[in-house]
Amino acid sequence: MKSCLGPDYAVLLSCEAVQRAYEQNLKAAYNGLPPGYLRVTCPQAEAIVNLATAQIEERRQAAVAEREAEERRRAERLAARTPPPPVTSVPAPSPGASGGWGALILIALVVIGALAIVAALARKAPAKKDLIGRGGSARFANLAELQAAAWMPGHFFLGLAPAESSPRPFRVGHDDDRHVFLVAQTGAGKGTSIIINNLIEWPGSAFVIDPKGENAMVTAMRRGHLADARDASP
């Protein structure tokens, strides 16, 4: 019967369609309906319809399976052409990493604080030239004070100071009964500049500790004119 329905029987989904297709195919084959041909009953047509429906479902499932297989093959080809992404490894933090950062931050804060203190002190510290003529008694004298302390006989000789209106320096003295403390390194000229000059000009008595005898050798004759000079060399 399926051969009489032809290759397109799978599209026949009703009893009437099956009967009509069956008769049309017989007419085409025999130039009309042959005498005594068997008519297709509805149960037979339903069986053919069920068979056609099953074949249609099989074809659909086969098409779906083929499409899925093609998609998998396409994905595999694409994956084969695409290189794998680089793997980036993140190093694990060392046990002392947090402590190391804390120490660095602490050191940075200490350095910044020290720099801030130095900058503040530098801003507050006056320039050396501003200290001249200012402050307490322990300071450098200004030019006016040096001129007022010009040396006179009977003063303690301190040295020479540049004159404001003359190329020649003038002597500076100290008219006070307080002590004078002189400090300088060896060979700086303490004896030739201060001690010998004062022994020559000082009119009063003097008690000199002279281990080398240089002061006595240079000033003994001059001191003998001013007072009784004696050299005690134990």
Q: Give the per-residue pLDDT at 7.
A: 47
**What are the structural domain ranges in the chain?**
2-81, 133-226
Given a contact cutoff of 8 angstroms between Cβ atoms, the answer to whether 26 and 72 are in contact is no
- The span from the CA of 168 to the CA of 193, in Å, is 17
Q: Give the per-residue pLDDT at 2.
A: 46
Q: Give the per-residue pLDDT at 36.
A: 73
Q: Give the per-residue pLDDT at 227.
A: 63
User: Residue 21 burial by CB count (10 A; 0-12/13-18/19+): exposed, middle or buried?
Assistant: buried
Q: Give the per-residue pLDDT at 6.
A: 46
- The span from the CA of 13 to the CA of 21, in Å, is 11
Q: Give the per-residue pLDDT at 126.
A: 56
**Residue 77 φ/ψ, nearest 5 degrees:** -65, -40
The pLDDT tens digits along the chain (234 residues) read: 444 444 444 445 567 777 777 777 777 777 777 777 677 677 777 777 677 777 778 888 888 899 899 999 888 888 887 766 666 655 555 555 555 677 788 888 888 888 888 887 777 655 555 555 555 567 788 888 888 888 888 888 888 888 877 788 888 888 888 888 888 898 888 888 888 888 888 888 888 888 888 888 888 887 777 666 677 666
